[in-house]
Homo-oligomer: A and B are copies of this chain.
Amino acid sequence: MKKVERALISVFDKKGIVEFAKILTDEFKVEILSTGGTSKLLKSNNINVVNIAEYTQSPEIFDGRVKTLHPRIEGGILLRRNNTQDLQEAQKYDIQPIDMVVCNLYNFKDKIIEPKISLQEALEMIDIGGPTMIRAAAKNFHDVVVVSNPDHYPKLIKEMRENGGISSQTRAILAQEVFFKMAEYNAIIANFLQSFHNPKVTFGSKMIKVYEKVQDCRYGENWDQSAAYYKDLSMDEGLHTIKKVSGKEISFNNYLDIDSCMQILLDLDNSYYTTAILKHTSPNGVAIDKNDQLKSVKMAFKTDPMSAFGGIWGLNKPVSKKIADFIVNKEKIFIEVLMAPSFDPEALNILKQKETMILLEFGDFLSRRNKFYNNPELRSVLGGILAQEYDTKPVIKNWRVVSNRNVDETEKEALIFAYIVSKWAKSNSACFVQTYEDGVYTIGIGAGQQSRVHVVKLAVQKAIEFGHKKELQDSLMGTDSFFPFPDGLEVAVEAGAKAIINPGGSIRDELVIKKANELNCALVFCDKRVFRH
């Protein structure tokens, strides 16, 4: 148990500091050393404070750039209380032990996101004395209590009241926190300087990422892998802002699917009514209706009712009682995760009957698309990581109808829809869609194939198997990369496709166009590939 007799207090965030200091002095007779603004604040609250400059007999200089960087301060912190030689030296040079360091830093992160900050202003914000004190205190946590976060004051007071001091375990945790904070603090500065000096470089020579755990997962992709979900501390927005309303714990694989599902919804026009159903990170049914959310649910479900069971369902508009009824009472569909901006109370009553079903409310998530893509997308490879910009550019780079047959506006919209769904199905992918009076929906989605022709065949087969043979007639198809040979296109047209979109770019594009013309199929090249693995 560490008894505190002398504390140094120097804080940027002054929250709770007056109360804390008052209790330290009044109740525990702690001597308080302080500097600048903190000192003034405490004194004006009638707290007895010794100014550092008096204490060290060394003035605060250079606008406060140097104030605590003094042997009487750092020595008082670093002194090993169980080391005879240290104690003798301390006595000889009149260094008094400092038992507690209460210090938090300028919020560099908030400062540098100000749009017009100059380099000089940013540099001025870099704290040198503070980090030195808290790192020294953390290193010497066997003898020193380091408090780098105002949130800790109440529990420290509680501990002191109960035990007369601060336990070794608490001191260790506080010390650990300091090194994480310092890593993060320096990383923010380093990343800032890197991008300040190389504003055009997306990927600098170093990359430092700091994460905070949101949730331990019961297991990872498989039952014998431990796993966790962390938020990126450089991002305010993300999946962690989505609210769970009901249901069992969100699993690792759920998170993968939730992520894909949200990104599909972010990619589609939010003024319509959309439903996206996924499993194993690929969509197996997506529909857009111009007027009615229930209709879009029905159309998306219809694509592949088998895979929709146990799937992840995302709706871009609130869930009504009718929708809940359709799912729970009419079709009796087992859904793993159901996500929407909100749930009507009556809908919630019905859905909550299914106790394990995970209901997620994502509020205005879809209106904040630009917030989610500031950081690169990362993926481990052995010993390292692949980083890339998220694929956020419009899926149509150029709209080039390369066939003799053209498409009308409805067909164009349907093709773009097919292409977006194909983007989110694992590569290689292909997606057949059909229009109806008020919307468009998928009728066959193929994913994860190693050749173009096979994935088209697969999409056709699935469409037929789930009763969409008729809808294949005059259907529209998108596929995520070019046709290396005309065979994939042939399969699609034979199945009934009247229009196809892909990026183009094969050395055999001419052959593919020729085949499209022979078969009277509209063919659009959009110059943007949409692989996703």
Interface residues of A (CB under 8 A from B): 58-59, 61-63, 65-66, 69-71, 74-75, 78-80, 83, 85-86, 89-90, 93, 95, 123, 126, 128, 131-132, 135-136, 139-142, 172-173, 175-176, 179-180, 182-187, 189-190, 193-194, 197, 202-214, 216-217, 220-232, 235-241, 252-253, 255-256, 258-259, 262-263, 279-282, 284, 304, 306-307, 311, 372, 375-391, 393, 397, 426-428, 447-451, 454, 458, 462, 528-533
Contact = CB atoms under 8 A, between A and B. Distances in A.
A62 B80 CA distance: 8
Contacts of A207: 210-213, 230
Nearest to A222: B529
- Chain multiplicity (copies): 2
A366 to B, nearest CB: 12
Of A236, A252, A280, chain B has the most CB atoms within 10 Å of the CB of: A280
Nearest to A141: B123
A208 B206 contact: no
Given A126-B139, A193-B175, A389 B93 contact: no
5 contacts: A128-B135, A179-B187, A227-B389, A256-B533, A447-B450
Contacts of A238: 381-384
Given A69-B69, A228-B203, A221 B62 contact: no
Contact of A206 (B128, B203, B212, B311): B212
A98 B296 CA distance: 70
Contacts of A139: 123, 126, 128
A210 B206 contact: yes
A176 to B, nearest CB: 4
Contacts of A211: 206-209, 384-385, 387
Contacts of A79: 62
A266 to B, nearest CB: 9
B383 A380 contact: no
A448 B230 CA distance: 26
Contacts of A210: 206-208
A387 B454 contact: no
A202 to B, nearest CB: 5
Given A135-B126, A210-B208, A384 B224 contact: no
Contacts of A426: 280, 426, 448
Contacts of A66: 71, 74-75, 78
Contact of A386 (B131, B208, B255): B255
A448 B462 CA distance: 14
A226 to B, nearest CB: 5
A484 B240 CA distance: 31
Contacts of A381: 229, 238-239, 255-256, 258-259
B235 A69 contact: no
A80 B237 CA distance: 39
Contact of A225 (B172, B390, B458): B390
A226 B388 contact: yes
A26 to B, nearest CB: 32
A220 B382 contact: no
Contacts of A382: 237-239, 259, 262-263, 372
Nearest to A428: B280
Given A78-B128, A227-B387, A427-B280, A380 B377 contact: yes
Given A182-B186, A426-B426, A389 B239 contact: no
A462 B382 CA distance: 31
Given A387-B227, A388-B225, A428-B280, A213 B204 contact: yes
B222 A213 contact: no
Contact of A450 (B123, B304, B383): B304
